[in-house]
Amino acid sequence: MRHIKIFDTTLRDGEQSPGCSMNLSEKVEMARQLEKLGVDVIEAGFAIASPMDFRSVQRIARAVKSCTVASLARCTKGDIDAAWDAVKEAAHPRIHVFLATSDIHMQYKLQMTREQVLQRISEMVAYARSFCADVEFSAEDASRSDWAFLAQCYSNAVAAGAATLNVPDTVGYSTPQEMGDLIRYLRENVAGVENVDISVHCHNDLGMAVANTLSCIQAGATQVECTVNGIGERAGNASMEEIVMALHTRRDFYDAETQINTKQIYRSSKLLSSITGVAIAPSKAIVGANAFAHESGIHQHGVIANAQTYEIMNSADVGIPQNTMVLGKHSGKHALREKLESMGYELSDEELESVFQRFKTMADKKKNITGSDLESLVLHRRNNINPTCRLVGHSINTSTSDVLPTTSYIKLERDGEMMEEVAIGSGPVDAAYKAINRMLGMDVRLEGFSLTAVTDGEDAIGEAVVKISDGSGESYTGTGLSTDILESSIRAYVNGINKIIEAGTAHD
């Protein structure tokens, strides 16, 4: 079977999706999970974009050992210099340069002629090649470019030393047949194409990113660019998990395979969702809550008799945990560790202690602890390990009367010091947040708030997600879990404030 390389751009194109920004430690954590997943290439960021982007690419390059680490760069020397400085310590560095080739981009964005574009490609690919043996060239908006001119652009890139040619459907305009035909045309008309990888990068504006990508694989593409959960600009990118499982499930049709460890797919998806605060749609293929759920009596009967009647994949193949062992308030730490290990989670002693304390608190409120409950605790463990501020207690008095206001009492611990404050607000959450701001002397603004039940039943866990800012122009995501929705809302706000404090300490 042909090997298809997986070029994951979750940390670059994916992070450009509104609401999906990550801090430095979160990017490194996600990169390490991508390494466990087995992707071939991690596009760690756009090094020239900001000092934070540069540092994150550099940190990932140092942390990751088994994957190629790439940085994006425009076809300018400054961009390429920054990209190389960021990835040069990687075990397998790559510089990914791009330049638009469609008439509309050349005329209105670049204000360059075709001849100038061809010359720039030759010069800048060669310049990148002087630093790094692994250079990828992307023709931005390739799917709307003149095919003959596009073939010449790629021929120049190969001649200058490019090892990979990327064919982006930048605005998600193409159809599967068009993308497949384009790949076949380029394989026949690009000089030296037999010595390089052909890659595709499809956006999902018309909902065809995965279909376009699979069509390109059939036409001869050897690398695909995608993101976990399909996140990305506008409607997103081709979804990594959908591409991988399509190839895995239909080997007979595509005659192609990847080196992805499919059992890490679900964990990667949930980790990204936990970091960004962007929920996975229940109907999302492969990793959605309903992907392996059956409610219809007819379906249930069929699955009980033989799972293949309605399931074309085994849930265990993508790493979805099976909730079979019941844990309660009398369970000990050893039993908790065994259950988590059976679900595929390996925690340090410090992380286990954090999860165990939250588990005991939850067990006092819930009769039975499910696998989904445990999973939510594990994915939020980073919120509870040595935070600067910790919620100690709270009391909220609400009223529907104009005479009696809604008041909140909040008690926090900050660096070992106990603090408390009372505030009046228009509602319980508003009053709690005002008390925290006053207590910490911070001008934090709430930009977004959502509350979701992450488990089922009357004693379901509520997950609060907040978007907050501190006036610097940066926004931060905070998450909180509790069976008490007010408590989860307060925990989310404190978690976001801890990120603001951490960012301020890092800048200092």
Residue 438: pLDDT band by 50, 70, 90 thresholds? very high
**2-276, superfamily in CATH?**
Aldolase class I (3.20.20.70)
Q: Which of 165, 163, 159, 134 is nearest to 70 (CA)?
A: 134
Residue 328: is its pLDDT beyond 70?
Answer: no
| Maximum Cα–Cα distance across the chain | 80
Per the DSSP assignment, residues forming a β-bridge with 199 are: 166, 223
How confident is the model at residue 182, as a pLDDT? 98
How confident is the model at residue 325, as a pLDDT? 41
pLDDT tens figures, 11-49: 999 988 877 889 999 999 999 999 999 999 999 999 999
Neighbouring residues of 150: CB distance < 8 A, sequence distance ≥ 6: 101, 139, 142, 186
Q: Per CATH, is 387-507 categorized as 3.10.20.30?
A: no
pLDDT tens figures, 79-88: 999 999 999 9
pLDDT tens figures, 459-497: 677 889 999 998 777 888 888 888 889 999 999 999 999
CA pair distance 416, 414, nearest whole angstrom: 5
Average pLDDT, the chain: 89
Cα dihedral 499/501/507/508 (nearest 10): -160
Residue 385: pLDDT band by 50, 70, 90 thresholds? low
More confident residue, 321 or 438: 438
CA pair distance 429, 435, nearest whole angstrom: 10
Residue 296: is its pLDDT beyond 60?
Answer: no
Report the percent of the chain where pLDDT is more than 70: 91
Rounded mean pLDDT, 123-145: 98
How do 462-469 and 445-453 pair as beta strands? antiparallel
AA letter at 261: N
Q: Which of 282, 283, 287 is nearest to 264 (CA)?
A: 287
Structure tokens of 410? 């909040």
AA letter at 34: L
Rounded mean pLDDT, 374-380: 74
pLDDT tens figures, 57-87: 999 999 999 999 999 999 999 999 999 999 9
Rounded mean pLDDT, 311-327: 70
Report the percent of the chain where pLDDT is more than 90: 67
pLDDT tens figures, 178-200: 999 999 999 999 999 999 999 99
How confident is the model at residue 323, as a pLDDT? 34
DSSP string spanning 209-263?
Answer: HHHHHHHHHHHT--EEEEBGGG--STT-B-BHHHHHHHHHHTHHHH-EE----GG
How confident is the model at residue 377, as a pLDDT? 79
Residue 505: is its pLDDT beyond 70?
Answer: no
Domain with CATH 3.30.160.270 in the chain: 387-507
Residue 294: is its pLDDT beyond 70?
Answer: no
Max avg pLDDT among 27-31, 337-341, 414-418, 446-450: 27-31
Per the DSSP assignment, residues forming a β-bridge with 74 are: 98
CA pair distance 344, 23, nearest whole angstrom: 25
Distance of CA 487 to the CA centre of its chain: 27
Q: Would the CA dihedral through 407, 412, 414, 418 be positive or negative?
A: positive
pLDDT tens figures, 138-163: 999 999 999 999 999 999 999 999 99
pLDDT tens figures, 203-241: 999 999 999 999 999 999 999 999 999 999 999 999 999
Residue 327: is its pLDDT beyond 70?
Answer: no
CA pair distance 161, 80, nearest whole angstrom: 15
Domain with CATH 3.20.20.70 in the chain: 2-276
How confident is the model at residue 76, as a pLDDT? 98
CA pair distance 78, 254, nearest whole angstrom: 41
How confident is the model at residue 324, as a pLDDT? 37
Residue 131: is its pLDDT beyond 90?
Answer: yes
